[in-house]
Structures are given as structure tokens and as C-alpha cells.
Structure 1
Amino acid sequence: MMKIIVADDDKLIRYYTQSLIAEVMNEPYEILEAANGKALIDLCLQHSPDIAFVDIKMPYVDGISAIDQAKMSCPNTNFVVLTAYADFSYAKRCIRLGVTDYLLKPIERETLEKVLNDLKIKINKENSFDNLKFQHKVISLFNNPNLGNLCKDVDKNIEHGDFLYLEFFILCPNYDEIYHSIYSKLSNELGDLADNLLKYGNKNTLFHSKRGNLALVIQLVNENQDYIIHSINLILKEYNRNCNISCLSTKSSTLTHLFENAAKINQKYTCIFANKTGVVYDIGAATFGLSNDDFAFLERFSKVISAFIDGNEPEYTIHIKNILGHTQMNVLNINFNELQAYTNKITGQNLEEQSPKPFFKELLALGESLKINISQSSLDKMDLIKEYIDKNYMNDIGITNISEIYKLSPNYVSKLFHEKFGTKFTDYLTNIRIYNAKLLLASNSDISIKTVSSMVGYNSPRHFTNIFYKLTNMYPSDYKKNDYRSTSKNTDRF
């Protein structure tokens, strides 16, 4: 949110200026008043405003001297002088101080509107550039295994405050659909939220965690954490009708500590199975009351879920029997209602048993549905599916609609495709898209990222950029700038 100070010893002038600002501002802002130069200096020190309208003739400290002192604490503030004196000596002093504009009273509405519009454009550009630097620092920190002095440098070179880390865990029956549908849509919605937060001064970056999940880091301002959490809860609520999306969060006063706290989320992420989906949980609240026995159980349960998603019946059965044989159910502090809700969405069943042992025996019986009698015709269809992907990767395709075309179940296709080609369906589709994107970028230096994104099957350039970076460790724009023409066309696909 933009912060504006109006500094003038005349109360009526302050009121008049504020009224004009209210008429022409079309975005959120906060306004503060200063009745003298000393008050202006103090307010700048406390609030680091984006814009300050300053009268020259004020008591205690004159406006120009106040600007000179205030610039030491807030060098990025845009100072606009409002004065009734068309004095060249004043103008020269203002120029030396780097004052943004010099306006004579009484200021007209059209003049103020133009000044504010010009300043908004300038400030938005500066904020976007600052946010880009913030993004690079965060991504470097979270992707560098050897932190060393990097952590110290990150904390030295960025203003301190409260930083919020959120990681999103997505589980659904047809896991190969995640990247192309749920993952992509969630990424877009979180990206839109991130863009909106930037208008309120929240620097942020959306990226992939080391687990492959979406992660969002936000620098909090104006105590707006509750608004952010509420906004994310609304997004998650829409998705959790058909799948399980959980969000674990942590907060810290430095990025280094935030990184350390985020590592705790990775260590304790299995707590998502014992908590309600579609709600942002602080990692401390989500793990409260859970013992080592609980986490040992949840770790085993997560393997059951993974085996079901992969269609791996032997491992699925082994992990359930392991739970039944090695878990003292009576000592667990697990919310089995939430555990059951997770399981029902993932399996597509309506398991009714509430007690732990009967619940897992009921779950064990589902293993029969995962046993597959692989026929030669099914294996032949995998070759046809692979060929279909090669020819249609640029279209809106996914494992569900391909399964319908070849009259097979999505889990069946996922299992057979992986067994025959040694790679997951979604990984193959993603790799072939990025391979062709690299060819396009290398063959045409004038082509836009948006065009390339569309030509290889991604509706969102943001999502395409994230995927490209994850697979190549480079942004598409950087790849295009470098000369890969001699190597790209002669490189094997994978």
C-alpha cells in the first residue's frame, strides 16, 4: 500500500491537499500529516513513505532542511515541494536535493493528478525491480545446498522484517494430472495473489521447493498476514472439493531463519494427513500434540498413499500390513476423521470404519483393485500413447483424456507407462515440451516467451517459465540470449 505524507503548517492546506489526493488516487494508499519540519523528519524515519508533499515555510525546521535530513533515513522517498514562493534560490536547493517536483500553491487537481500518475509509474517500476532482486535472493538461498556466507550476505543486503514461507502439498487420485491441471491452475492463482500483494508493498516470490511443491515467500508489511492467509484459504477451499491441498507455513524475522524453519516443514510434512485440508496451518500448530509415535505412524501412512497413487499393489499391501503389525493404535493422537477424509478423496471410495484397525483392514481390501493383469494389447497401447504425446504435446492433453481415448483407467496407464519406458507420464510430457521449447528459443532470437509457451502447450507463461527453470536451471529469456544454436538441435531429447 502506498504511503503518502502531507507536510504543511496550515491545517486547511493539509485538508485541501488530502481531498485532492482522494479524488485522483485509484489504488490503496495511506496518508499521514505533519504540521512542521520536525514532525516530517520523525514520520519519514518511522514510515519510509513513498511520496511526501512538503511546504517550504514551516516552524522548527523548514521544509528544504527537513527533506535534507529525512533523505538520510528514507532515500527512496519521492519528495514534492508545495510552496507559495516562486523563488529561484529555493528551486536550486530542491534540485540539489533531488526533489521530484516543485509545485506552486494553490495546486490544481489536474496538476496533482499528473504528478501522482507519473510517480505511481516510477514507484511501480522501482518496486518491480526491487521484487526481482528479492526473488533472486530467495531462490538462491532456498536452492543452494552450501549456505555458508550466502545466508549472511542475504540478511545483510535486505531489510529485516517478518517473512512468511508457505509450502503447498497436493494429493489427488490421478497424480500424473497435477502438473498439467491442478498444479498449473494453483500456480496461476497464487501468482495473481502475489502480483496483488506487490501493490501493497509485499515483496514475494513463487517457486518450487526441493520436494517439487509450490512454495511462496512473502515479506510482510502493515501487519497484513491475516489478509494473506484468508486469501489463500479462499483459493484452497475451491480446490479441495476434488483433491487434497494442504498448506504448511512458518514465519521468521530473517530469511536465513526462514530457510531453517522451512526445513522443519520438510521433516514434519506428514502431519498434513492428520489435519484438515484447504487451510493454511503454521507448522507449530499443525504438529502440536503429535508425538514421535504419531510421526512414525504418519510416515508409514504416507507410503501407503504414495503406493496407491503409483498403482503399486505389492508395496501398498506391505505398508498397510506394516502399520497393522508395528503400530500401537491406542497410543496415537491422530485425528482419524481427517485421515479418513484424505483417504476417501485419494481412493475415490467411501470408507466408513472409524476405529483405526478396522479402517486399515478396510483399506487393505482395496489393494485387490490395484492388481493388474497386463496383457500384450495394453503394452502395445503404451507405444500408441507415447506416439500420441509426441504428436500432440502442444495441445491441452493429460492422462485422463488420453486414458479415455485408449479405453484404459488413468492409474493403469500411469503404471504401465512408467514400467515400459522408465519414466512417469507427466515427466515425459513435460520433458518433450521443454525440449521443443529449447529448439524454438535457439532457432529464433525474436520469438517471445509467451509465444513459445503457447506453442509447446502451456497457457501460462509464468508456469512455463517455472517448469523451464526447474528442468534447465535457466530462465527461457536467459537461454534465448545465449548461443545454443549449435548444440540444441543435436542434443538427444532426454
Structure 2
Amino acid sequence: MKILIADDELLVRRSIRMFLTDLGVRPDDMVETGDGFGLVEAIGGSHFDLALVDIRMPGMDGLEAVRRARETAGETDFYILSGFDDFKYAQEAIRLGVKDYILKPVRRADLEKIVENTISALEQRRALLLENLNLATAALLNIPGYTAHFPVPCRPVLIADDAPAQPFSVSELLAVDNDRITVIAHRDGGYVLLFLFETPEYPGYCREYLKDLAERYQSGHTLVEGRKFRDGTCWEEDYKRMRTLACLRSACGGRRLYPRTCLPPVDSRDFLPVCRCCETCLETYGKSDYAGFTLACEALLKSLEPVRQSHPGRAGNISRYLAEAFGLKDQSPEGLKSGLLMAAATFSASSKDFQYEEITAYIDRHYAEDLSLTGLAGMYGLSPNYFSTLFKKKAGCNFIHYLTSLRIAESKRLLLETNLTIREIAERVGYYSASFFIRSFKKAEEITPSEYRRKG
């Protein structure tokens, strides 16, 4: 959320900035200006979700600045801050569509309410946008020839698992607070496809987000960047390129990012079948499918042999890839065979071994910490995929939902029984961003934390 503070008094601007920072607003998401001309110029050059505007400013007063800014402001919420309790000012502000007229000195409670109202409106618009984008991207994947028309450019990223014991977790990715980008995720076969959409407040952020994705995930995953598009005209051709590169990763190099300009090798058809067998091995292993994994391993070893003769370098890459994926020491044909059979033996664990009560007791004690499904699964010697399946079967909900319900329940108690600020409560229950806590609370309870406290 980006906020513009327009007031000619430096101390007032600093006081408002201090309050907003305490509410969890990032310092780099706040812009200050001391006059009406600065307000018009700032809004004309960037998108702001909220503008706090003083009426009496030199050169151009706040009302005139709001009137001019309205032409380019889009969905900015304007709030007038004034030391004058004048009905004419308030009447003009209402005529301009200003959200509210707040008398100075501005109280912390006033700003808290303004921030919550803005976040609530943003979440409503965001929910509608997510619904529309989910439908459009699903159609893009499932309806041949479908032409999408997105409001902002889309940058797709395909993610494939290179370590079958650590599958990519969509729920954990989406649970991380990031209001600078809209992420739509779909599973397509053994891949996760992310559609990245920039928000108007942060143009150009997609590149930074993709770089962060690569740094966080390429130690156990391969990422393939797609070409940016809005109407989907070239989508099918480019998605075929992305899937081919992902499939070829065992021969061409996994655990890396393939840029949008990368094309499959010209001789890839010679070793594509063995790469597909390799993919099937990883996919069936991730599903704990003993029969499917065993058959896939047999097909893989059989198809790998002729590639050793025709493309020894590619065959060597595939052997190393399998050794890394399944933790094998011997990359010889016999070593791969015995190692893959040993990997299949791990499927013998049953749900009876799942220590549900112990796991939930641990979550109940540590919910305010930085818990992750992958970390918990590792603590109990299970793959994240297997852990997630068993947890949902026992709990009736997924891990993220269970964790969130604990945090929201404790935050409700603290809201009613203490005088802690919203930011302090957010930190106590495991949210390191007050704005993300407010959005999560609103999504769960359909009212903001302050409204819940007032009604309590």
C-alpha cells in the first residue's frame, strides 16, 4: 500500500509518518510533499492507494489539489486533514469524493481506522481481481485457442521439482505477505505454473520478484521464465517451449533459472524420451506411487542405455541429476538401479506412523514463530508432500489454514483483553507486518481488528 502525505508542516508529516510506520506501513511506501502542486505532480507520476491532505498549503490549497489530482488519481482514497472545523470545507470535500474530513491534531486512532478502511477496500478490489484472473488463467490452460485480455501484463513462470522429497509448496508461497505483486498459481501435471501480475503501485516489480524466486527456490527446483504478454496470442507456443525446457532439465541442467530467451537444444528430440521417463520417476515418487515409480524406473534405465552411446554427455547429466534428486552415491547403471529400488522402499511408511497429536501440540506451542510445512516435515522425517497429505487427512484442513486459525484466535483474545496496539498484537501472533495481519484478520473474520475490538 502506497501512501501520500501532503502537509506544509514538517512536524505534522513526521508525526503521521511515525504513526503509520508503527502501524506496519513500510517507510519506502510513504511519500511526502509540502504543497498542493507537489501532490498533483506525485499522483500524476505514480499510483497511491491513500492520500492524507492538509487543506491550508502554500501555492495551492488541499481541496484544489484534490480536484486536479482526481483526473489521474484512479482509485486513490483521499482524506482531508484540517485544523478548521468549517462546514463549507467539509461540504466541498464531500463533493470531491473525499472519504472523510479529519480534524487536527490527527490522533493515532484516526490513522489506524483510515489505514484499516483503506486495506479493507483494497482487499475487496483484490478479491474480485483474483477471482477474474483465476478464471482467465484457468481458461488459458484448459481451452485451446483461448485469448486472454489482462488489465496489466502477465509474466508466467514454470516451476519443476528437482528434489522429489521437497516439492514446491504453493500454499507457503502465497502465505507470504507481498502486496507488491499479484500471483495466480495453477498445477499442470507435475509442474506449478505461476502467473505474475504487477500492481499499479509497483511497476517493474516482476523482475525483482522473479530474481527473489530464483534465489529462494532454485536449490531444489528448476524455474523457466515465460515471455510477457497481455492478450495470450503467443501463449500456447511459448508455454510449449517452457514445458519442453522443464522436461529437458535432467539432461540440460536442473536447479537453475531458464530465461525467457532460452530455446531447447536442436538435438533435444534424441534424448527427450528418456527425460520424460525421468520426469515420471520424480512425479510418481512425489505421489508415493510404488507401482508407478517402479515401472517408471525400469523404463528410464532401459531408455537411458542407448543415450549413453549416442549422447554420452547428456546421459552423464541425467545420471548426475538422478543421483542428486534421490541422494544416490553410485551413478553407474547398476548403481542407479539399486539406488532407485532403495528409494522405492521409503514408500513403506504408513499413516499409522504419523505423530499427529505430537505435531499439533508443537504447532500450538510455536505458532507465533516462523513455522513452515517443509521445516515441520523435516523434523519428523517425512517428505513435505506426504506430510501435507496426512496432516490434511487428520486435521480436516491444510497446514496453513490450521496455523492461521491459531494466530487469529489468539489475536482476538489479545484485542479484547489487552490494550496492545495492532502492530504489537500482529508481532505476538507471528505476523511481521501489521498490514498483512489486518488483511488476514479481515479475510478470516470479515471485519478489521479495530472493528472487532470496538464491538467486543
Q: TM-score, normalised by structure 2?
A: 0.64
Q: Which residue of 1 aligns with 2:450?
A: none
Q: Which amino acid aligns with 1:208?
A: R
Q: How does 1:397-416 map to 2 (within 5 A)?
A: 399-402=347-350
Measured at CA, do residues 265 and 65 of structure 1 come closer, stay the same or move farther in structure 2, by a change above 3 Å?
same
From 226, 246, 255, give the equivalent of 1:250. Answer: 226
1:252–1:258 contact (8 Å) kept in structure 2? no
Partners of 1:65 and 1:122 in 2: how far apart?
A: 25
Instruction: Deviation per CA, 1:346-374: give whole Å up to 9, x if none.
Output: 5654235xxxxxxxxx4378569999xxx
Q: Is residue 186 from structure 1 mapped to residue 169 from structure 2 by the alignment?
A: yes
Q: Which residue of 2 aligns with 1:164?
A: 155
Measured at CA, do residues 122 and 312 of structure 1 come closer, stay the same or move farther in structure 2, by a change above 3 Å?
closer
Measured at CA, do residues 190 and 255 of structure 1 come closer, stay the same or move farther in structure 2, by a change above 3 Å?
farther
2:225–2:257 contact (8 Å) kept in structure 1? yes
Q: Is residue 292 from structure 1 mapped to residue 266 from structure 2 by the alignment?
A: yes
Q: Which residue of 2 aligns with 1:424?
A: none
From 302, 314, 319, give the equivalent of 2:303. Answer: 319
RMSD between superposed Cα atoms in Å: 3.9
Partners of 1:272 and 1:166 in 2: how far apart?
A: 15
Q: Which amino acid aligns with 2:187?
A: H
Measured at CA, do residues 404 and 340 of structure 1 come closer, stay the same or move farther in structure 2, by a change above 3 Å?
farther
Q: How does 1:280-359 map to 2 (within 5 A)?
A: 280-285=257-262, 287=263, 291-293=265-267, 295-305=268-278, 309-311=293-295, 315-316=299-300, 318-324=302-308, 327=310, 329=312, 338-346=317-325, 349-352=328-331
Residue 169 of structure 2 aligns to a residue whose secondary structure is helix
Q: Which amino acid aligns with 2:246?
A: Y
2:2–2:49 contact (8 Å) kept in structure 1? yes
Measured at CA, do residues 97 and 338 of structure 1 come closer, stay the same or move farther in structure 2, by a change above 3 Å?
farther
1:311–1:370 contact (8 Å) kept in structure 2? no
Partners of 1:234 and 1:291 in 2: how far apart?
A: 27
Partners of 1:370 and 1:338 in 2: how far apart?
A: 17
1:169–1:247 contact (8 Å) kept in structure 2? yes
Partners of 1:232 and 1:257 in 2: how far apart?
A: 27
Q: Which amino acid aligns with 2:155?
A: L
Measured at CA, do residues 400 and 190 of structure 1 come closer, stay the same or move farther in structure 2, by a change above 3 Å?
farther
Measured at CA, do residues 29 and 258 of structure 1 come closer, stay the same or move farther in structure 2, by a change above 3 Å?
farther
1:273–1:298 contact (8 Å) kept in structure 2? no
Q: Which amino acid aligns with 1:229?
A: K
Partners of 1:370 and 1:25 in 2: how far apart?
A: 50
Q: Is residue 139 from structure 1 mapped to residue 150 from structure 2 by the alignment?
A: no
Residue 52 of structure 1 aligns to a residue whose secondary structure is strand
Q: Which residue of 2 aligns with 1:207?
A: 186
Measured at CA, do residues 316 and 28 of structure 1 come closer, stay the same or move farther in structure 2, by a change above 3 Å?
same
The offset of 1:203, in angstroms, is 1.1
The offset of 1:91, in angstroms, is 1.1
Q: How does 1:47-196 map to 2 (within 5 A)?
A: 47-147=46-146, 150-151=147-148, 154-155=149-150, 158=151, 160-161=152-153, 163-170=154-161, 182-183=166-167, 186-193=169-176, 196=177
Measured at CA, do residues 190 and 270 of structure 1 come closer, stay the same or move farther in structure 2, by a change above 3 Å?
same
2:158–2:226 contact (8 Å) kept in structure 1? no
Greater relative CO (CA pairs within 8 A, separation 6+): 2
The offset of 1:102, in angstroms, is 0.6
Measured at CA, do residues 370 and 274 of structure 1 come closer, stay the same or move farther in structure 2, by a change above 3 Å?
closer
The offset of 1:338, in angstroms, is 4.7
1:9–1:36 contact (8 Å) kept in structure 2? yes
Partners of 2:244 and 2:301 in 1: how far apart?
A: 25
Across the two proteins, how many residue pairs are aligned to each other? 347
Q: Which amino acid aligns with 1:256?
A: G
Q: Is residue 270 from structure 1 mapped to residue 269 from structure 2 by the alignment?
A: no
1:301–1:319 contact (8 Å) kept in structure 2? yes
The offset of 1:53, in angstroms, is 0.8
Q: Which residue of 2 aligns with 1:216?
A: 194
Measured at CA, do residues 455 and 404 of structure 1 come closer, stay the same or move farther in structure 2, by a change above 3 Å?
closer
The offset of 1:304, in angstroms, is 4.7
Q: Is residue 226 from structure 1 mapped to residue 208 from structure 2 by the alignment?
A: yes
Query: Sequence identity of aligned pairs in percent?
Result: 18
Measured at CA, do residues 399 and 257 of structure 1 come closer, stay the same or move farther in structure 2, by a change above 3 Å?
farther
1:164–1:219 contact (8 Å) kept in structure 2? yes
Q: TM-score, normalised by structure 1?
A: 0.59
2:6–2:39 contact (8 Å) kept in structure 1? yes
